[in-house]
Amino acid sequence: MSQRFVVQVGDPILRKVCKEVKNFNGELAALLDDMKTTVRAEDGAGLAAPQIGVDARVVVVDVEEGFFEFINPEIYYTKGEQVGPEGCLSVKGKQGTVVRPEKVKLVYRDRTGKKHKLTAEGFFARAVCHELDHLDGVLYTDKAVEIYDIDAEGRRIANKADAEGRRIANNTENNQ
Ligand SMILES: [Zn+2]
């Protein structure tokens, strides 16, 4: 198991519609193990294969409910709506507000090729939607109603105009 390099926005692999997995073999198992190592090292909630440069419909999701491996996943039911912040390991230094379904049901294969169904709600549903979008070349920044800069701790940075305004106001005060 080794940590892989996470490609950043601008890399064409992030815009590809990824290929379905046909062979549930050792190569797939090794990919999944590397994805787990990588998502944990990067402290992410999920990772899609194209983010490490692999053209395959494979994602991992690492949330409160557990660690999940989804191969050839498809959402077949959605319900409700949630509005919340979202980031991406391939779009460093930014976060956005994205509208997602509150609940999704998906069908997927595990690493042995066995078919499963699963229901995800809340943040888990958001993570599933975000990762599955990656398999179709879609980034959250395409859907976000707002995108903003964050600092290393993930805190929102006020936009430059606001920061500049405060600086000028402070200087004015100091000058008086
Ligand atoms: Zn992402």
| CB proximity list for 141: less than 8 A, separation 6 or greater | 9, 88, 91, 94, 96, 147
In a domain, 3, yes or no: no
Distance CA 32, CA 67 (A): 11
> What is the Cα–Cα distance from 116 to 108, expressed in whole angstroms?
5
- In this structure, what token pair is assigned to residue 88? 């991406």
Tokens of residue 16, six digits: 């590809």
Number of folded domains that form the chain: 1
* Distance from residue 20's CA to the centre of ligand 1 (Å): 19
Q: Could you tell me the distance, in angstroms and rounded to a whole number, from the CA of residue 83 to the centre of ligand 1?
A: 17
Is residue 57 included in any domain, yes or no? yes
146 in a domain, yes or no? yes
Q: Which of 38, 51, 136, 37 is nearest to 88 (CA)?
A: 51
C-alpha 79/C-alpha 106 separation (Å) is 12
Task: Return residues with CB closer than 5 A to ligand 1 (ion).
Answer: 88
Q: Could you tell me the CATH number of the domain that includes residue 52? A: 3.90.45.10
Residue 150 in domain: yes
Evaluate whether residue 156 is within a structural domain. yes
Specify if 4 maps to a domain: no
- Whole-structure pTM value: 0.89
What is the identity of the amino acid at 153? E
- Distance (angstroms) between ligand 1 centre and the Cα of 133 equals 8
User: Cα(22) to centroid of ligand 1, in Å?
Assistant: 24
| Active site residues per annotation | 131
Q: What is the pLDDT of residue 168?
A: 45
Q: The domain containing residue 96 runs over which residues? A: 12-175
Cα of 166 from ligand 1 centre, angstroms: 33
> Is residue 5 situated within a structural domain?
no
Per-residue pLDDT in tens (0 to 9) along the chain, 176 residues: 799 999 999 999 999 999 999 999 999 999 999 999 999 999 999 999 999 999 999 999 999 999 999 999 999 999 999 999 999 999 999 999 999 999 999 999 999 999 999 999 999 999 999 999 999 999 999 999 999 999 988 889 876 555 554 444 444 444 44
Q: How many residues in total does the chain contain?
A: 176
Residue 1 lies in a domain: no
